[in-house]
Structure 1
Amino acid sequence: MTQALYGGVNAALITAVGADLAPDHVRTAAHAKWLLANGCDGLGVLGTTGEAASFGLRERREILESLVQNDVPVTRLMPGTGVPNITDTVELSRHARDLGCPGVLVLPPFYYKNPSGEGLYAYFSEVIERTGSGLAFYLYHFPAQSAVPLTVELIGRLIEAFPGVVRGVKDSTGDPAQAEGFIKAFASRGFEVYPGADNLLQRMLAIGAAGCITAASNICARFSQVVFTQRSGPEADAAQRVVDACRAAAGSAPLIPGLREVLARSTGDEGWRHIRPPHTRLSPAQADAVWAAWQGTGALPLPGLEEYGMSLAAE
């Protein structure tokens, strides 16, 4: 395949918030830089794990701007820009392009249910045409959240209409048949397929995936990077087993507060537990259980936290 813009391991970056629930730009940037130094090739910003739907347009622009201002390399960022209307999706996409992001991840319009294939094609076409040149579009396939599946036929039609612009897909179904279908249909044409399920990484790389964009990579990216680099053999197999365990640990509690709890305990920083409603903190029992699950993965403790301001003195 042609050189993938985001080839490799990409974490679905957590967005830190303060006690007042405002975006915490300092913690978010510190975590982003730690990830890039510990196994990540790139970062999916303001996706599901980053709670994009919990932030307004101004906040979303500021979060992305602050990452760049805090010296997170803009060429490593894939921001989510899809909202249920054309106007705001175009605004966020242009903003990302003008900052220097190579590409954006775009959800389908997710309020109206059962849109037709023709309606989805018209929506994405309008977004791409109105955004203008200089930006790659990645389609976000997550029907469990969006309730809007993206078919092979729709993606093929968009690739034909916008060659080199509709560049890839993140498939967050967790269904190997779905990711494999996208790879077999389009990878030979340079189309980048990124599974969102950590446990599929080695299997999908073997048939042409460009890498991954996953939530558990917030914790275990260095092991995913071994899988991506080595692909097969004892070292890759052992690393994939750790990644599989991390995927299971991440699923043992509500995902977003669970990841925040692991970061809070790993860094000694209570600030990682702050979270915007409707998400809520874990109960003490849930918190202890998810921490125990993660301790059993082999991915902890996290290395190199102090260098990036990620460790505070225990109270």
Structure 2
Amino acid sequence: MAQFAGVYVAVVTPFTDQYEVDVQRLHELSEWLIEKGVHGLIPCGSLGEYATLSAAERATVVETVIKAAAGRVPVVVGTGAPSTKQVVEWARHAKEAGAAGVMALPPVSYKPLESEIVAHYEALSKVGIPIIAYNNPRDYPTDLTPELLAKLSKLDNMVGVKEFSGDVRRVHQILAACELEVLVGVDDLALEGAIAGATGWIAGVPNALPEEGVQLFELARAGKLEEALPLYRRLLPLFHYDAQPQLVQAIKYMMELAGQPVGPTRPPRLPLGEADLAAIRQAYRHAAAH
């Protein structure tokens, strides 16, 4: 059985108007997402603006989400960092704080050799916590191909991969190459990925529409396409924003529209222009009208 099945929301980090981490709001958001039926939470991913957080802030975010979850759903912690040493330290912190697993990018600051990628994950595996490798060749220099994932799958604690290449064929290829569980990484392949055999979805837009996200993925996994397709097509214009560079601003604005405001994004991310906001409003109203 898949260890991290279902919809895991990559939780945004709420900020105050002064760009400070809003700890109370983060706790409330985590509670709300759990109440709405999501299967797990992932703090400190790309959507959580981890790269803009100080070490103290990042630790607080992780601990706040784990405390709010209180064992009701698993918490998987993003460990993205410039060096292997830092990644390992964040994995140790996650384990000590009570996380169920970690989500780990390959080296991010340059294009590494395959041997360096393997060594990176070997060091992480020694922490002794389940690992979901994060493949995001859109935004980072490395592509964790199915052939490379087959090698990484032999590590003791490697259990899955967040597949963010945007090519749904990768789901079939990974499942054929190894026994890692596959979690869809881009919202606008949630339905196709589930049909192809992905058992999980690390989701962005369900920060704002968690019930719809859970319903969609469960219908798709069950093969109930007549019910899933109309819902998917309503949500798809919003889902496309998850694969754009301004995904954080877009999803935080969707949350405002959903009555779950979480404040601004931290610079260098700046507010969206009115044309972008208007397009998101239109897509959100279309999705929510039903």
Identify whether the pair has TM-score above 0.5, normalized to the shorter chain.
yes
Contact 2:181 2:199 in 1 (8 A): yes
* Residue 303 of structure 1: aligned partner: none
Query: 1:68 offset after TM fit, Å?
Result: 2.9
Secondary structure in 1 aligned to 2:192? helix
* Residue 284 of structure 2: aligned partner: 294
* Residue 9 of structure 1: aligned partner: 7
Larger radius of gyration: 1
* Residue 175 of structure 1: aligned partner: 167
- The amino acid across from 1:283 in the alignment is G
* Gap runs ≥5 in structure 2: none
- The amino acid across from 1:222 in the alignment is E
* Residue 222 of structure 1: aligned partner: 211
Measured in 1, the distance between the counterparts of 2:186 and 2:6 equals 14
Map of 1:13-24 to 2, 5 A cutoff? 13-24=11-22
| 1:117 and 2:114 correspond | yes
Segments ≥4 residues shifted beyond 6 Å: none
Which deviates the most, 216-225 or 243-252?
243-252
Which deviates the most, 175-184 or 211-220?
175-184
Measured in 1, the distance between the counterparts of 2:289 and 2:31 equals 18
Query: 1:262 offset after TM fit, Å?
Result: 2.1
Measured in 1, the distance between the counterparts of 2:289 and 2:201 equals 18
The verdict on how the C-alpha distance between 1:279 and 1:295 changes in structure 2, with shifts beyond 3 A counting, is same
Secondary structure in 1 aligned to 2:120? helix
* Residue 62 of structure 1: aligned partner: 60
* Residue 187 of structure 2: aligned partner: 198
Contact 2:45 2:80 in 1 (8 A): no
CA offsets per residue over residues 207-253 of structure 1, 9 Å max, x none?
Answer: 32112002112123322322332332322233322332331365689
Query: 1:72 offset after TM fit, Å?
Result: 4.9
CA offsets per residue over residues 87-133 of structure 1, 9 Å max, x none?
Answer: 211111011111111110001111122x111111112112222x2x2
Give the paired residue count: 287
Measured in 2, the distance between the counterparts of 1:214 and 1:243 equals 13
TM-score (norm 1): 0.83
The verdict on how the C-alpha distance between 1:36 and 1:299 changes in structure 2, with shifts beyond 3 A counting, is farther
1:150 to 144, 155, 162: 144
Map of 1:1-315 to 2, 5 A cutoff? 2=1, 4-73=2-71, 75-113=73-111, 115-129=112-126, 131=127, 133=128, 135-160=129-154, 162-163=155-156, 165-186=157-178, 189=179, 191-230=180-219, 231-233=222-224, 234-248=226-240, 254-267=246-259, 269=261, 272-298=262-288
- Give % identity: 26
Query: 1:268 offset after TM fit, Å?
Result: 7.4
- The amino acid across from 2:232 in the alignment is Q
Contact 1:15 1:23 in 2 (8 A): yes
- The amino acid across from 1:37 in the alignment is E
Query: 1:31 offset after TM fit, Å?
Result: 1.5
